[in-house]
Amino acid sequence: MYIVLEGIDGAGKSTQISALKGWLEDSGLEVETIVEPTDSDIGVLIRKILQNPNATDENIQKILGLLFAADRLLLVDKIAKEEYCNKIIISDRSFYSSLAYQNHPEWIAEINKFAKKPDIVLLLDLDVDLAIERCSGEDEFEKKSFLIDVKNSYLDLAKDDKDRFKIINANNGPKKVQSDIKKAIAPFLGICLSGID
């Protein structure tokens, strides 16, 4: 089972991933987590480029699209290794991030065709104003309009793939988000829901 958390910057993915991992392990399941971009040389280069103030420019986004696809190919080998077999993998982002952030869906789909497709995508849907407040506090027009596009792309992806995508309202506090995530995935894993508010 390959579960992915997606959402715009500041949506609270890492907090929710550690809560989800703890809950699944308490339920007797074995869990491994992964993060995109990875800590590979390609991932390090990606993070460097992301710090560039012009990172939202169209051409830089295309370069990032290629690098993210390459970084993801490294994950294909990693996931195939024994330590990941028969475990639940929870990933912070996936190729759906490339679809939402980098645009050009056909090209992104083509260069990511060897990437593993998630079984469940938990989309943490956060208001852009709140995201900007959480991330930088600076209400830059460029960043805001970029994140609005990303948010809308995610919602379109979710609309087109209702079986795979579960939309979680991330504007609520972390506890409520956590219980909504549990409710969304419990049926897939056959976990009893007792004790969830």
- Asked if residue 151 binds ligand TYD (CB under 6 A), the reply is no
* Residue 140 parent element (H or E): none
- Helix crossing, 58-80 with 95-102: angle to 10°? 180
- Count, residues near ligand TYD per rule CB under 6 A: 12
Selected from 12, 88, 93, 122, the binder of ligand TYD by CB under 6 A is 93
Cβ proximity to ligand TYD: between 27 and 38 the closer is 38
Identity of the residue, 117 or 193, whose beta carbon is nearer to ligand TYD in the bound complex: 117
Among 87, 90, 92, which Cα is nearest to 28's?
87
Q: Does 68 bind ligand TYD (CB under 6 A)?
A: yes
36 is a contact residue toward ligand TYD (CB under 6 A): yes
Choices 16-24, 94-102, 116-124, 165-173; region in contact with ligand TYD by CB under 6 A: 94-102
Q: Which of 16, 91, 98, 178 binds ligand TYD (CB under 6 A)?
A: 98
Contacts with ligand TYD in 38-67 (CB under 6 A)? 50, 64
Q: What is the C-alpha to C-alpha distance for residues 194 and 197, in angstroms, rounded to an integer?
A: 9
Which residue lies nearer to ligand TYD by CB, 23 or 68?
A: 68
Least distance (Å) from ligand TYD to the CB of residue 13?
Answer: 6
Report how far apart, in Å, the C-alpha atoms of 104 and of each of 16, 23, 107 are.
Answer: 29, 37, 6
Which residue, 30 or 41, is less far from ligand TYD as judged by CB? 41
Q: Do the Cβ atoms of 86 and 30 come closer than 8 Å?
A: yes
Of all residues in the chain, what percent are helix, strand and coil, respectively (each to 5)?
55, 15, 30
Q: Phi and psi for 27 in degrees, rounded to 5? A: -85, 5
* Closest to 6 in 3D by CA, of 48, 47, 35, 28: 35
146 lies in the site for ligand TYD, by CB under 6 A: no
Which residues are near ligand TYD by CB under 6 A?
A: 9, 13, 36-37, 50, 64, 68, 93, 97-98, 101-102
